[in-house]
Every structure is written in C-alpha cells, then in structure tokens.
Amino acid sequence: MENGNNNALALQNTHVKLLAFDLLSLTQFPFRSPDAATSFFRRGIQISRVETLGTVTLRHLKPERLLRFAIDDGTGCVPCVLWLNDANSPSVVRRRRHELAARFVEVVKFGAVARVRGRLSRYKGGVQVTVSDVVTERDPNAEIFHLLDCIRLISSSLRDGERDESLRP
C-alpha cells in the first residue's frame, strides 16, 4: 500500500486529467459548512487541481469581475470560473495574472474546444474549476486523445491495486 500513499502525495499538486463524469462525482470533505476549506477525493486520493477538455457550451461574462463558462466533454458539463478582478492589486503577480485572464476571456468562445486547468473549488454545494489556464485546441483529435488518456489513467490506477467501489457486483 506504500505505492498508493506515494501516488496520493504525488497528485496533490498535479493537474489530474478527469472527465466531467469523474470530476462531478468527486467526494467533498468536510461537509459541515459552505465557508470551510474543502478537500476533494477520488477513490480515496486527495485531488486539488484538474485538467479537462471539451466544448464551451455556456459563457457568461461579468465585466471586470468574472467569466463563468461550462466545458462539455460528452460525459457531463464542468462549471468553470475565471476571476478577472485582480487588475488593481498592488501585487505584480496578480496584475500579470489579470493580464493573462483578460487574454483567456478571448479564448473562451461559445462552441470552441478548450483545454482548462485549474484548482477545484466549491460553489453552491457543487464542484467547479477555478481556472488558472485555458487554451483553444486546434487538433481535431484532442478530445478523443483526452478521453483515452483519462481511461488509461483510470485503468492503470486500478491495476496498481486501487479499488473501484463502483465496479463491485
């Protein structure tokens, strides 16, 4: 089981590729209050950052505040939020992040295929991705390759001794 513990530590700061179906079914802990810091778990392993890929099916811009959008990969829709209100921050890092966010707004167009990376967060009791990076995919095979990567990663984790409760008879 030591290998499983090493894998768990390795995933804490890694963008884990997940399908919407898996992402939306993550276990949240603690359940006690909406304000509390939330940890997300997949099959007993803590996950804080994810990567997903799909078609932008919803886009709602609140200028100078945020961009809400959804990514549909065929297994479900992942809610995403991109914060835009760091422009007036005295921090150079935040100002640069704001400049990047402004560019990301241009990338997120309705119907575009986009790859999104970010940190998991809670919103209205559900999981969402707080976006740190988004790019448009131009490769027509990107979606199927992402799907196959996710399936391969699930299969390899099951072979490594991780139990999948959903597959039990």
Burial environment of residue 32 by CB neighbours within 10 A (0 to 12, 13 to 18, 19 or more): exposed
Assigned CATH for 2-164: 2.40.50.140
Domain boundaries, the chain: 2-164
Distances (CA, A) of 128 to 9, 90, 164: 22, 28, 23
pTM for this prediction: 0.76
Check pLDDT > 60 for residue 57: yes
pLDDT (tens digit per residue) in 121-144: 888 878 899 998 899 999 989 999
Mean pLDDT for the stretch of residues 15-22: 87
